């Protein structure tokens, strides 16, 4: 019997994950996609084609192609969930709740649920599946930059991360549930291949407190909070354009994450939050070969080759006139599924976060939402966020899953 894996989602990352899993001889890969007519389109394509994953060769090496066939693509959870021992969520965070509701009646309690990317995904799993699953594995980001070239038929991996950070929780963490007795983490590494290398350690909260929203939200606030509303003649650089004040704000925000971390460690010394670092130190481990000037956080952002030329997301309202796009995921995802989450965790831990509050109050207004009201995560739009309060997780034990 093959090891049965379900991929939830129908976008770029879901194509790659389903293809890589299906390419393994001892794995059966299934797909659940609830969105629009994706399941029909993908199924139709599989009748006549394999799914091809093109892997872009690095350093002038030729591209390679992996061909595979997921066994079934469906929008009906009852057709695909039963019997799956590993369910991998590869969708934007706003779609997670919908998929959790859909799979809930059919989930095997001895199944591990992965969020890729998945900072704070464990709150949604616990909030929605409750006792049905205590096994969660989350990662900070997607393993690849990838784009669908033809729906259901061809997807391209433009680049893979070298390493990604993750954390696992639950009774199956080290259980030999996978092919040839592999643990859950070994099974995912087997599916991904050599890169990225998975670094899985500590409590999931460590991943949540280290998520990239700290970088994006600080840059958005630093760049636009004092903007006079006049359209710009050119689109500013996102990372390379940061000034001293924005770099300081990012550092201060990161320090607040560390304060929250320390506060929780004092109350729960047994909880391993060792993945949480200051953002400068994170850059030093992650981009050590890409950064030219390591003298400060500002120079790190300005001279990171991996960020060269990346610009703000702007709308061209008339030819040559640009305004910021506040609907882009740097606010629309990173606030409800990032900043609001850490603010909610801080509230439960009883730690004040003036920098977070300042950025959140500005950003929620730009999004037209109310999350933080009168100093508490109690606004009317809280259910659109993944802050623990949105799932009724209001004690430290609730948050930690103890």
Asked whether position 88 contacts ligand NAD by CB under 6 A, the answer is no
Q: Which of 29, 51, 91, 215 is the binder for ligand NAD (CB under 6 A)?
A: 91
Asked whether position 186 contacts ligand NAD by CB under 6 A, the answer is no
Asked whether position 92 contacts ligand NAD by CB under 6 A, the answer is yes
How many residues sit in the footprint of ligand NAD (CB under 6 A)?
A: 22
Both tokens assigned to 43: 């199924």
To the nearest whole angstrom, how small is the minimum distance from the Cβ of residue 159 to ligand NAD? 9
- The runs of H, that is alpha helices, within 149-203 are 184-192
Beta carbons of 167 and 275 less than 8 angstroms apart: yes
Q: Which of 70, 117, 178, 379 is the binder for ligand NAD (CB under 6 A)?
A: 117
Give the residue with the Cβ less far from ligand NAD, 93 or 372.
93
Both tokens assigned to 294: 């390591």
To the nearest whole angstrom, how small is the minimum distance from the Cβ of residue 147 to ligand NAD? 7
Give the residue with the Cβ less far from ligand NAD, 146 or 250.
146
Q: How far is CA 380 from CA 113, 162, 241, in A?
A: 30, 40, 35
Q: How far is CA 208 from CA 87, 166, 199, 211, in A?
A: 20, 10, 15, 5
Checking DSSP bridges between strand 27-32 and strand 72-74, what pairing results, if any?
parallel
Asked whether position 95 contacts ligand NAD by CB under 6 A, the answer is yes
To the nearest whole angstrom, how small is the minimum distance from the Cβ of residue 117 to ligand NAD? 5
To the nearest whole angstrom, how small is the minimum distance from the Cβ of residue 400 to ligand NAD? 24
Asked whether position 56 contacts ligand NAD by CB under 6 A, the answer is no
Asked whether position 10 contacts ligand NAD by CB under 6 A, the answer is yes
Q: Residue 53 pairs with which residues in a beta bridge?
A: 66, 155
Q: Which of helix, strand or coil describes residue 136?
A: strand
To the nearest whole angstrom, how small is the minimum distance from the Cβ of residue 311 to ligand NAD? 17
Asked whether position 329 contacts ligand NAD by CB under 6 A, the answer is yes
Asked whether position 231 contacts ligand NAD by CB under 6 A, the answer is no
To the nearest whole angstrom, how small is the minimum distance from the Cβ of residue 269 to ligand NAD? 33
The answer to whether residue 199 is catalytic is no
Give the residue with the Cβ less far from ligand NAD, 163 or 299.
163
Q: Tell me how many degrees the CA angle 155-20-144 measures, rounded to the nearest 5.
A: 60
- The runs of H, that is alpha helices, within 55-183 are 77-80, 96-103, 121-129
Q: Which of 21, 84, 142, 155 is the binder for ligand NAD (CB under 6 A)?
A: 142
Q: Which of 6, 19, 27, 38 is the binder for ligand NAD (CB under 6 A)?
A: 38
Asked whether position 145 contacts ligand NAD by CB under 6 A, the answer is yes
Bond before 117 cis per omega within 30 degrees: yes
Measured CA to CA, the distance from residue 254 to residue 301 in angstroms comes to: 14
Q: Where are the beta strands (DSSP E) in 112-252?
A: 112-115, 136-139, 144-150, 154-160, 163-169, 197-200
Asked whether position 313 contacts ligand NAD by CB under 6 A, the answer is no
Bond before 134 cis per omega within 30 degrees: no
Q: Which of 3, 4, 5, 12 is the binder for ligand NAD (CB under 6 A)?
A: 12
Q: Which of 71, 141, 240, 299 is the binder for ligand NAD (CB under 6 A)?
A: 141
Q: Cβ-closest residue to ligand NAD?
A: 11
Measured CA to CA, the distance from residue 99 to residue 220 in angstroms comes to: 30
- Sequence-separated contacts (24+) of 310-319 with Cβ below 8 Å: 310/237, 310/238, 310/239, 310/240, 311/235, 311/236, 311/237, 311/238, 312/223, 312/235, 312/236, 312/237, 312/238, 312/241, 314/232, 314/235, 317/231, 318/231
Among 216, 278, 312, 328, the active-site one is 216
Of 27-35, 50-58, 70-78, 224-232, which part binds ligand NAD (CB under 6 A)? 27-35
Measured CA to CA, the distance from residue 389 to residue 346 in angstroms comes to: 11
Asked whether position 195 contacts ligand NAD by CB under 6 A, the answer is no
Binding residues for ligand NAD, per CB under 6 A? 9-14, 33-35, 38, 90-93, 95, 98, 117, 141-142, 145-146, 329
Residues marked active site are found at: 216
């Amino acid at each position: 019997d093959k090891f049965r894996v379900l991929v939830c989602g129908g976008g770029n990352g879901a194509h790659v994950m389903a293809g890589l899993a299906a390419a393994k001889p001892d794995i059966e890969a299934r797909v659940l996609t609830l969105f629009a007519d994706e399941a029909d389109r993908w199924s139709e394509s599989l009748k006549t084609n394999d799914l091809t994953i093109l892997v872009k060769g690095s350093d002038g090496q030729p591209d390679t192609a992996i061909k595979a066939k997921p066994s079934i693509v469906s929008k009906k959870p009852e057709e695909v969930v039963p019997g799956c021992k590993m369910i991998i969520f590869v969708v934007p965070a706003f779609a997670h709740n919908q998929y959790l509701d859909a799979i809930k009646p059919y989930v095997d309690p001895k199944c591990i649920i992965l969020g890729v990317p998945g900072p704070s995904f464990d709150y949604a799993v616990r909030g929605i599946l409750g006792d049905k699953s205590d096994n969660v594995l989350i990662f900070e980001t997607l393993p690849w930059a990838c784009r669908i070239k033809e729906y259901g038929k061809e997807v391209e991996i433009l680049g893979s991360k070298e390493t990604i950070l993750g954390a696992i929780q639950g009774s199956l963490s080290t259980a030999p549930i996978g092919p040839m007795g592999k643990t859950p983490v070994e099974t995912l590494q087997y599916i991904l291949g050599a890169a990225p290398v998975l670094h899985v350690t500590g409590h999931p909260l460590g991943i949540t407190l280290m998520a990239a929203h700290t970088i994006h939200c600080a840059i958005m606030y630093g760049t636009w909070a004092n903007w006079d509303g006049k359209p710009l003649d050119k689109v500013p650089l996102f990372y390379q354009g940061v000034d001293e004040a924005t770099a300081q704000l990012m550092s201060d925000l990161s320090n607040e994450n560390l304060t929250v971390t320390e506060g929780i460690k004092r109350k729960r010394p047994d909880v391993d939050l060792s993945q949480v670092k200051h953002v400068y130190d994170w850059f030093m481990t992650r981009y050590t070969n890409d950064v030219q000037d390591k003298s400060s956080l500002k120079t790190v952002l300005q001279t990171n080759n991996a960020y060269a030329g990346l610009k703000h997301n702007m709308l061209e309202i008339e030819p040559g006139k640009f305004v910021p796009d506040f609907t882009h995921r740097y606010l629309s995802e990173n606030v409800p599924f990032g900043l609001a989450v850490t603010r909610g965790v801080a509230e439960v831990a009883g730690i004040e976060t003036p920098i977070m509050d300042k950025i959140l109050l500005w950003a929620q207004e730009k999004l037209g939402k109310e999350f933080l009201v009168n100093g508490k995560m109690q606004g009317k739009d809280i259910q659109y966020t993944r802050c623990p309060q949105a799932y009724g997780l209001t004690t430290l034990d609730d948050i930690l899953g103890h």
